[in-house]
Structure 1
Amino acid sequence: MIRTLVVEDDPLTAEAHAEYLGRLEGFELAGIARTAAAAQAAIRAPEDHGGIDLVLLDMNLPDGHGLELARRIRSSGIAVDIIAITAVRETDVVRTAINVGIVQYLIKPFSFAVFRDRLQSYLAYRRQLEFSGSSTTQADIDGMLASLRPSAPASLPKGLAASTLAVVIGYLKEAQVPVSAVQAAAALDLSRVTARRYLEHLADEQRATRTPRYGAPGRPEFEYRWVS
């Protein structure tokens, strides 16, 4: 579970983001901070309190700018990722946010679907990062960056989303044994039909193998394994 801190001074917005987060698999709300000072205290808390993996950061806080908080986090050496969630659109702020290592920048207002896609993209990045172990290949790095910066949906068959594909890829890479569409659907909170469509796409692209799984009555079910 990715323990996530919501940093937002507006109570209603903070609760909305927390509620959105609670609807996503793989994420756990670590708390809500309404000031930069409270956020920094939560991030610096001892790891036996649970620790923070991800910060959803507003830029306009009552006791400072979000960018200053991001700089303090980076200078402290604490390994936490930051996603900006803000109404600030100025180019210089966006540029600085990228420079200080903010991994995604989400402009308010947005729908739950947009929030879900960005967080699922981040989750796919984390899964690929963990799967790669202590050493990575160029393909691993390209996959991680692609998860954070998904390709345009037009590059995929109609009905497939780049963010969901990245999550399926991350799951398939982590699997120690071949998995079925039923297993993928249960693990990723997708319908069986949706999971199969993504797995079939990866098999058609020769990024995964497809083999029959026998032993159950009726038509054989297929199982899929990532091509390493």
Structure 2
Amino acid sequence: MVSEETTETRTSTSTTLPGARAAEGDPMRTTDTSLSASRPPGAPTRAWRTRLVVVGIVLAALNLRPAITSLGALLEEVRDDLGMSGSVAGLLTSVPPLCFAVFGLAAPRLARRFGPGAVVCAGMAAIGAGLLIRPWAGGTAGFLAASALALMGIAVSNVLMPAIVKRWFPDRVGSMTGLYSMALALGTATAAAATVPVTEALGGDWRSGLAVWAALAAAAVLPWLALT
């Protein structure tokens, strides 16, 4: 009798357990459902996100030096037009390391608060805004302020790029760092070599020759905006 009751109890337990789990909610089923429900429609897959990160890294690296090297190619024209003294021109050349030191230290804290992708996106936007504003800022003070804005974006992005490479490509750090370094060198050399010919092609106005590099920064905002 005891054996039959025990058998019936076990049978009823095994029979009602799935129903109870269905009523109470299977943790694995609930997790899968919540994940699929929380995924926004049209969200990019992991593969597409990885491709966007690669494009974003390359475009960001291309923008980390043109603000500096393009100005070096047209510094004489800028000085003559804005009436800069030698001391002010010397101050202008000292702004990049100063901004790198000040804003570079703030980059990790900003990344912890907002995420590295969002900070790089804001950095690219700051570069584009600074490059677009500074030729028409009106006077030396405005030119210096707009240059500092662009250099702020360069500083925070420059610091966070290695961390982003390690985060997204932990098994390909060497190859991705090489790609990033190549894009950085390409942007540096291209801005130094092409600024003067581009300026001449645009009518010889140094303002247009400097502002044209804002378009490259604007293009770099797009993949980071999508990722953010």
Q: TM-score, normalised on structure 2? A: 0.22
TM-score, length of structure 1 as denominator length: 0.22
More strand by share: 1
**Greater fraction helix:** 2
